[in-house]
Structure 1
Amino acid sequence: MMNWGALQDGDPGRYLPRPFETPRNAFPAALIQDFAHSGFDFIRLTLDVGPFMQLQGADREALEQKLIDNIRLFHDLGLAVIVDVHPVEQVPAYSPQSILDDLEGPLFADYTAMIGRLATLLAAVQSGNVALELMNEPVIREASHRTQVKVWGAAQLVLHDAARRAAADLPLLLTGANYGGISGLTDLDPSPFIDSNTLFSFHYYLPISFTHQGVDFGTADAPASPYVVDLPYPYDAVPAQEIAAAIEGRIAADTALDVTGKEATRNHAQQILQSFLSGAWNRERIENDFAEVGAWADRNGVARHRIVMGECGVTRRAAGFTGANDIYRKRWLSDVTHLAQAGGFGWALWGIESREMGIYRVDDKDRVDSDVVAALAMSD
């Protein structure tokens, strides 16, 4: 609804004065209603930060009013709202890497000022039930994990304090460094925030070869491939030789690849498959991952109910896209949400209406897929 804002023709660095008024930003009213009636109790509303930082005057006022109107829409349906400040790389100047590149530079100062404005705005929402997430999946360009932790730790403290000066009691959602995964959270020192009205978030997409199957990121740190599909969950639900044979068949049948291309693709696919199998991904493996989060909470005196698994999801099979088999997708979603709930954590899916990871029915985009909902922890 409020992400990937529309850009001006001929100027890919400038947003339209009304950047979220295009058809792609429309959230069908019927789907909103069905989502609210399906048992979910909050929605995470993601914001492209570019327009909120770039637009000025009447255009920014209109943008902020649109945010308030959307929050009221969800509140009227009985849904709480996490407003997720969500930098994207559509305009590189407003990517998380650019924002965090220099904590003493003007861009980070502008971002910090925006956080203060949003906190003031949300604190005035009379219906309550709204929280502010300071940054989605923070990442520093070309930095080690330890550097990511140190730089983001300093940045998040600045952002938290800016929000607190604007809104003393507004719930704030904090996250760990390095894309906000479990390792980032468990390396986060929560002591400066314990007495503040804060929640703590982590994202879970493991193994990425399963959760993002059908996607080709083209990067070494996100090993997925359009050829490595039909991976099962748990990992041993299908014999390994059958999986390998199917992958080889897809590569062999691709006439767009020459001999050299097929060999490189085959080597990449084999690496992904071996990593997937050696990881032994099943319910017990996920339970162990979540136990790390619980141990971090207990060690630092953070109540479990203050932790939210802010994103999880698996690609699906839809028109023009080959994601996970529906049976295995639902098994993973079931285990992950039930184990999060058993750990005392809140959880959210990514996303609702996206083609790749959506939870609407393939044959009816105005309805939530009741079979997916039935697999989730809230169906207990």
Structure 2
Amino acid sequence: MLSENKLWYQNSRMEETKALLLQARQEGFRSIRLNLFPAAVAEGGVDAIDAWYQSLRVLVTYGNSVGLHMIIDLHESNRCGVDASECRRLTTDFWSRTAGMFSDTRFDVSYELLNEPKGEMVSQWGALYPQLIKLVRSKDRHHSIIVGGKGYSTIWDLPPADPDQERIIYTFHYYNPMSFTHQGADWLKAHPSLAERRNIGWGSYADRTRLAIDFRSVDGWRSRNDAPLFLGEFGVFKRAPAEDRVVWLSSVARMSEERGITWCLFDYEGGFGVEGLLPAIQKGARRQP
């Protein structure tokens, strides 16, 4: 996953972003999930948002050229959580324009409708996302659409699959236990105690048992739904013990791969960054008992 630098749409930063994409591909990554925040750019007026969309097209085209599948992720969960009516306008405007721009089959993309629909959207997401699917399909009938559950899109939030829809992928996020994955996360105002936590390890028999129990919920969903699943986010903040980070990431990757579930790490070069770690994660996943 590559978080949007608010300056990447400016020419002075585009080459830097391209270099990150190429580096990720050379390390072995096959897809990149782009976290996008167009609302703030749109406040700069028509010229600013037009330039942003033009640069998004350049970025996706470049990612495809180096062999990356590009997941276009509308990451405006905070804005959407505050004002549901504004969220409907924002998501409708974004997907109307984006799906039309990438509808050509030469683009290797998929569309993630909205990251973690929180706040006001918790009660309204179930009604909104089918409308967004219909909107995207009116523009693009070829590329896959990714749908997460309400709230934090956990395993337990997955919506039921719609058997009448084609090329819909359902996504969930996994960060358990938060005391390990988010230790030292001083930016989490809702959980201030996590900022003070340090040197919490992971990998005991009890830890692995808890992980296996959690993924039984995935098995339960799949037994009720015939649809593809995608682990769209999992990661560990860099302040956790380095070796245990790799053990946890490898264990979660293995749990997914055993079920034929594709996965995406959060994130590549940020606070949860995994630059250079993919070989160790993959090797550890293969070694798990």
State the match for 2:81 in structure 1: 97
Deviation per CA, 1:58-100: give whole Å up to 9, x if none. 43332212111111111111111111111164xxxxx1213xx
How many residues align? The count is 286
Using CA pairs under 8 Å that are at least 6 residues apart, name the structure with larger relative contact order, 1 or 2: 2
**CA separation in 2, counterparts of 1:315 and 1:177?**
23
State the match for 2:267 in structure 1: 351
Q: Which has the larger radius of gyration?
A: 1
Q: Which amino acid is 2:109 matched to?
A: V
**CA separation in 1, counterparts of 2:181 and 2:53?**
34
State the match for 1:132 in structure 2: 111
Q: Give the secondary-structure state (helix, strand or coil) at the position aligned to 1:226.
A: helix
Q: Which amino acid is 1:64 matched to?
A: Y
State the match for 2:135 in structure 1: 162
Q: Which amino acid is 1:83 matched to?
A: I
| Runs ≥4 residues deviating over 6 A | none
**CA separation in 1, counterparts of 2:63 and 2:286?**
19
**CA separation in 2, counterparts of 1:87 and 1:376?**
34
Q: Does the 8 Å contact 2:247/2:284 carry over to 1? A: no
1:111 CA drift (Å)? 2.5
Distance 1:297-1:223 versus aligned 2 partners, 3 A rule: farther
State the match for 1:196 in structure 2: 166
**CA separation in 1, counterparts of 2:152 and 2:65?**
32
**CA separation in 1, counterparts of 2:108 and 2:126?**
27
Distance 1:197-1:84 versus aligned 2 partners, 3 A rule: same
**CA separation in 2, counterparts of 1:85 and 1:376?**
31
Among candidates 209, 219, 222, match of residue 284 of structure 1: 209
Distance 1:39-1:160 versus aligned 2 partners, 3 A rule: same
Query: Are positions 1:79 and 2:68 aligned together?
Result: yes
Q: Give the secondary-structure state (helix, strand or coil) at the position aligned to 1:178.
A: coil
Identical counterparts, % of pairs: 26
1:44 CA drift (Å)? 0.7
Distance 1:36-1:348 versus aligned 2 partners, 3 A rule: same
Deviation per CA, 1:181-225: give whole Å up to 9, x if none. 11111xx1222x643211110011111110011113232xx4642
Q: Which amino acid is 1:156 matched to?
A: Y
Among candidates 100, 108, 112, match of residue 120 of structure 1: 100
Q: Give the secondary-structure state (helix, strand or coil) at the position aligned to 1:27.
A: helix
Q: Gaps (5+ residues) in structure 2?
A: none
Distance 1:110-1:336 versus aligned 2 partners, 3 A rule: closer
Q: Does the 8 Å contact 2:30/2:67 carry over to 1? A: yes
Query: 1:294-305, aligned counterparts within 5 Å?
Result: 294-302=219-227
**CA separation in 1, counterparts of 2:247 and 2:211?**
12
**CA separation in 1, counterparts of 2:42 and 2:153?**
23
1:55 CA drift (Å)? 5.5
**CA separation in 2, counterparts of 1:226 and 1:26?**
31
Q: Does the 8 Å contact 2:181/2:237 carry over to 1? A: yes
Query: Are positions 1:184 and 2:157 aligned together?
Result: yes
In angstroms, what is the RMSD of aligned CA positions? 2.8
Q: Give the secondary-structure state (helix, strand or coil) at the position aligned to 1:225.
A: helix
1:154 CA drift (Å)? 0.6
